[in-house]
Structure 1
Amino acid sequence: MTAAGRFRHLSRWGRWVLLLPFLGVVVVFILDRTSNNPNVTFEPALTAGPALAAVVSNSLWFPLLVGGVTIGEAFGIAAEDRTMSASVHTASVLAIVLISAIGAASVMLRNRQERALADARLVSEVAQRILLRSIPERIGPVRAAVHYAAAAAHARIGGDLYEVVQTRYGVRAVIGDVRGKGLAAVETAAAILGAFREAAHQEPALDKVAAWLADSLGRALHENGGEHEGSDEEFVTLVLVGVRPDAVVEIVNCGHPAPLLLRRGTPVRFLDPPANVPPLGVLEPEDVVAPILRLPLQEEDRLLLYTDGVIEARNSWGVFYPLAERVPDCASADAPAVVLDRLHEDVRRHVGHQLGDDAAMLLLQYAPVPTPGTALAVRSVVHPRAVHDRSTPQGRTD
């Protein structure tokens, strides 16, 4: 966008801010004219004008414009003040010229950095769309929503991962947390997600999916002769969830915080695993044997999956966010996406600032849609005589 275009897009408040350098020049002029001491001059203070112009505007020409106005004002002050030495006037003018040039250069560098940041954000957004794909509002019998916030400044992806897919074995989901941050964590998350998207469709048993992910993670951490930085200490905590067609949920937990079951009319319940299993990457892939927790689902049951960035968020007193206590108030909304938005805002209020760790939340709500066959069976039970009458030829009696 050109400088004129930026100026047109400034808000009303932004346009008033542009008047500050000119206001500063006027103030210096008034102070100099009202000064009763003939040996004191305020001309050197005019250098604040172009310096302030470089701060309040992203236009390259603005510090130069303010510098030109300021130089004219400096000559006006010198013409009025006959007692000011030529050396002071010359030094003031040279300082104004130098600061105007530095201000223009700083604006140019700042604009270049902002463009680079915008490009990085665009790449991050594209990477997120590929790595962390958007979750549909409904996947089979499940309504789903996800909320993800990366800890890295200006980043959209980090070490947390999630995915929900529809398979022949039902709806399957994963949420996980890669140890560490940065590019290495993103690479590991990509390896886990790629393996899950394949294994979820191939393996009928959910524990076998976990073993598949452990094997893929081992290869990803030690590929290329072990050049992956920190591969000896890297691991992944995750939870696998499978909603079977017979309304039974299966959960496999590998060192991750236990999901929460939100069932209407009952207290919030942690779905702890039958046995503790370490995160993936701690054991050899062939030693990963994760038990499966099975639970019958009722309609409108909700499963809240989350990463430790949520429950380890602390306020200024060092108190962790009490998720189990606060989630009932946030879960009063009908839409899963609204529930997660409320939870995220509640966590931010608890912390008082941006979260210091990646935080992901995935909400799955069991809400099966009646199939046409089921609806026909219901109508047949309610109106059996009507069905019999339609099958009997008109005018015939038995």
Structure 2
Amino acid sequence: MGKLIATWNRIPAHRLAGPGPAAARPSGTWPRTALTLPFVGMALVICLDYLSTLEVTVEPALTAVPALAAIVSRRVWYPILTGLLAEGAAFAMATYNGVLGDSVHSATVLAIALVTAISWVSATLRVRQDQALADAQLVAEIARRVLLRSVPDRVGSVRAAVHYAAAAAHARIGGDLYEVVNTRHGVRAVVGDVRGKGLNAVETAAVVLGAFREAAHQEPALDRVAGWLAVSLDRALHENDHPGVEEEFVTLVLIGVAPDGAAEIVNCGHPAPLLLRADGQVRALELADTVPPIGVLDPELVAPPVQRVPFEPGDRVLLFTDGVIEARDRAGRFYPLAERLPGCAAGSPVEVLDRLHEDVVRHVGRQLGDDAAMLLLEYRPAVPGETQLPHQNVRLAHQ
């Protein structure tokens, strides 16, 4: 609980107080110029009635004014204001046309009052729903900061950046997981994908991340780290009576980078990382023998092979989840990550991931249908006298 409160206190005040005047317009809202539409509609009805040579009155059209106000504005008083003005216009038009005592005028007045009341109720309910959604998003943001911590620009001998996009609308976190830690064994990182979505996937991701943060420091061998994660996952699923425990598993890839550039990779059923050499060559770090995800085998049987790759300064390795490579365009073609990576490789790790995400979205042409996480590590030994950058290189994509 103390960690959750501390995370809450680190959230900028503008996130807690809501968007200010300079903030971007929330999704689904109308521009300010749209607030004039009810008055424009009212003026058109009055002009049409004044210029019409027919004996048919257009006074009933004023009932659309408060309804339009409820559509273009999130202020609960706006439909009432426009409704009162529409009532005044109705009386003025009836007086001008000499139909003040006719049934059509009485029916119009009652209809405007009824539509105004309905519009006010609709605006009130929408404001409450927006507030509930904002509260839920704030809680999700807090949970994301606790579970998926920000990644510093530099961790030990590597520069790092993360880009995460949750598939669920308005979500901040899903079933994908990542972490980078600096240990006495070197820099260690994990990227994984929990089977399924929703709260169960988030719970499973929390178990795996908690176990990794401990095992990465304690276990000198990277394959033993994978075994530790398998034991922790199995224990958590059975102790908590997790639904569908027999079908729960997590694909993940572990990587360790020593200060001298010697890298170790352990893959448990996850897409192979991509190695981008400083000269621009791309190679998938695939293993000859495939290993199932953790949760499939009994924990004592989890002993994945360790792949060793020497890194040179400037070499980069991209770890990602299947939400990236399984993103399809309208013709059903998968996103060719290995082909597109060299064209997006210019700049810092953050810029590379931003460019890749934009390219994936262009390829798909719509919101991604699955969670997508990317972690980019660049082997760059620290130069004597170099200071660590203070900002956090993590990007959360709003889809």
Same fold? TM cut 0.5: yes
Is 2:221 the partner of 1:216? no
1:213–1:10 distance in 2 versus 1, CA, 3 Å: closer
Contact 1:141/1:369, CA 8 A, preserved across alignment: yes
Shift of 1:264: 2.1
Map of 1:44 onto structure 2: 60
SS of residue matched to 2:31:
helix
SS of residue matched to 1:19:
helix
Shift of 1:84: 7.5
Map of 1:240 onto structure 2: 254
Is 2:287 the partner of 1:287? no
Map of 2:162 onto structure 1: 146
Alpha-carbon distance in 2 for matches of 1:8, 1:205? 51
Is 2:187 the partner of 1:171? yes
**TM-score using structure 2 length:** 0.88
Question: Which of 248, 258, 278 in structure 2 is aligned with 1:264?
Answer: 278
Report the aligned-residue RMSD: 2.0
Is 2:206 the partner of 1:190? yes
- Aligned partner letter, 1:255: G
Alpha-carbon distance in 2 for matches of 1:189, 1:313? 22
1:365-384 aligned at under 5 Å gives the runs 365-371=378-384
- Aligned partner letter, 1:37: L
Shift of 1:353: 1.3
Alpha-carbon distance in 2 for matches of 1:294, 1:273? 11
**TM-score using structure 1 length:** 0.88
Deviation readout 1:135-158 (Å, 9 max, x if unpaired)? 000011110000000001111100
Shift of 1:247: 1.9
**Which stretches in structure 1 are left out of the alignment for 5+ residues?**
373-398
Contact 1:172/1:200, CA 8 A, preserved across alignment: yes
Is 2:335 the partner of 1:321? yes
Alpha-carbon distance in 2 for matches of 1:88, 1:9? 46
1:7–1:272 distance in 2 versus 1, CA, 3 Å: closer
1:61–1:163 distance in 2 versus 1, CA, 3 Å: same
Contact 2:91/2:100, CA 8 A, preserved across alignment: no
- Aligned partner letter, 1:348: V
SS of residue matched to 1:364:
strand
Alpha-carbon distance in 2 for matches of 1:65, 1:25? 13
Alpha-carbon distance in 2 for matches of 1:358, 1:69? 49
Is 2:49 the partner of 1:32? yes
Is 2:354 the partner of 1:341? yes
Shift of 1:220: 1.7
Structure 1 stretches (4+) deviating beyond 6 angstroms? 5-11
1:9–1:174 distance in 2 versus 1, CA, 3 Å: closer
Map of 1:387 onto structure 2: none
Question: Which of 82, 101, 105 in structure 1 is aligned with 2:98?
Answer: 82
**Which stretches in structure 2 are left out of the alignment for 5+ residues?**
1-18, 386-399
Shift of 1:10: 10
Shift of 1:36: 2.0
1:10–1:153 distance in 2 versus 1, CA, 3 Å: closer
**Number of aligned residues:** 364
SS of residue matched to 1:295:
strand
Contact 1:240/1:251, CA 8 A, preserved across alignment: yes
Task: Indicate the percent of aligned positions where both proteins have the same amino acid.
Answer: 64
Deviation readout 1:148-180 (Å, 9 max, x if unpaired)? 000011111000000000011000000000111
Alpha-carbon distance in 2 for matches of 1:75, 1:8? 41
Is 2:38 the partner of 1:21? yes
Deviation readout 1:333-353 (Å, 9 max, x if unpaired)? 2x1100000000010111111
Shift of 1:265: 2.2
1:32–1:370 distance in 2 versus 1, CA, 3 Å: closer
Contact 1:274/1:293, CA 8 A, preserved across alignment: no
Is 2:217 the partner of 1:204? no
Greater RCO (Cα-Cα under 8 Å, separation 6 or more): 2
Alpha-carbon distance in 2 for matches of 1:77, 1:299? 80
Q: Which shows bigger deviation, 100-109 or 192-201?
A: 100-109
Is 2:141 the partner of 1:132? no
Alpha-carbon distance in 2 for matches of 1:8, 1:259? 41
Map of 2:16 onto structure 1: none
Deviation readout 1:180-231 (Å, 9 max, x if unpaired)? 111110000000000000000011100000000011111122223x2x2222
Shift of 1:266: 5.1
